Amino acid sequence: MERLANKSRNHFNANHDRSQVMRLIHFPSGQQTIRNVSYEIIDEEMNGGKSLVALHDMPDHLIKATPLSVTVPIHRRFKSAWFLHGCIWAKSMKHAASYRFIYADGSSVAVPIITLDEASPDTKHRRLGLHANIQDWWYTKKMVETGEVRPVIVQNPEAPDLYRRYLYTLQWINPYPHLEVTSLKLRGEGNGPTSIVIFAVTLEL
């Protein structure tokens, strides 16, 4: 595995610190192995106060989200990518963000990030829900778990019943592993208030 966040920390962690977006009190920085995948969680204090990418720059949940796009250089061939990310203010089922891989030949493949909301009876939303791959971080929400998506429980180790939040890992299998991927474009869809927050990306070479 190769940690993309390590290779591109000035680019990947360019817009927010954790306290501005997702205050995970019991989620330490540094190298973490989650479900047998190694991730490097950036330390804010060692990285100019920046530790994550938030794909809607929204300081207040009452303000309509602004689309945000961050491009991370890669220049690698790889088999699959693992994302460690979270979601806040998932008020409805929607296409909240896209992770687009750009190949050296100019082609690209996008991974749509779709929030889960079981409350909506709308037929369109039910169809969309079949492809949901992330859920709000709040502990009362029903978790998402599929072959590619796994919940990550964040708890207070000394009092686990008093604090619980959820992040998620997402595996994307590269359909063209023989091609060089030049960059990864992380883009919010601008249909707020949902915000997708990315902590780390790991590549399987």
Q: What is the pLDDT of residues 129-179, one digit of tens each?
A: 567 899 999 988 888 888 999 999 998 888 778 888 999 999 999 999 999
CB within 8 Å of 185: residues ≥ 6 apart:
69, 70, 71, 72, 98, 99, 100, 102, 108
Hey, what are 5's tokens?
A: 């966040």
The DSSP 8-state label assigned to residue 151 in this structure reads E
| Strand spans (E) along 132-173 | 149-155, 164-173
3-state secondary structure of 44: helix
| pLDDT interval class at 111 (50, 70, 90) | very high
* Domain tally, the chain: 1
- DSSP state string for 81-142: EEEEEEEE---S--EEEEEEEEETTS-EEEEEEEB--TT---HHHHHHHTT--B--SBTTSP
Hey, what are 144's tokens?
A: 């998402």
Q: What is d(CA 74, CA 183) in angstroms, rounded to the nearest whole number?
A: 5
Per-residue pLDDT at 63: 53
Per-residue pLDDT at 81: 95
pLDDT tens figures, 13-24: 546 656 666 778
| pLDDT interval class at 8 (50, 70, 90) | very low
Q: How many helices (H) and strands (E) does the chain have?
A: 4, 12
| pLDDT interval class at 120 (50, 70, 90) | low
**At residue 6, does pLDDT exceed 50?**
no
Least confidently predicted of 91-105, 125-139, 188-202: 125-139
Burial of 109 (0-12, 13-18, 19+ CB in 10 A): middle
**At residue 73, does pLDDT exceed 70?**
yes
Q: What is d(CA 97, CA 22) in angstroms, rounded to the nearest whole number?
A: 17
Domain that holds residue 118: 2-204
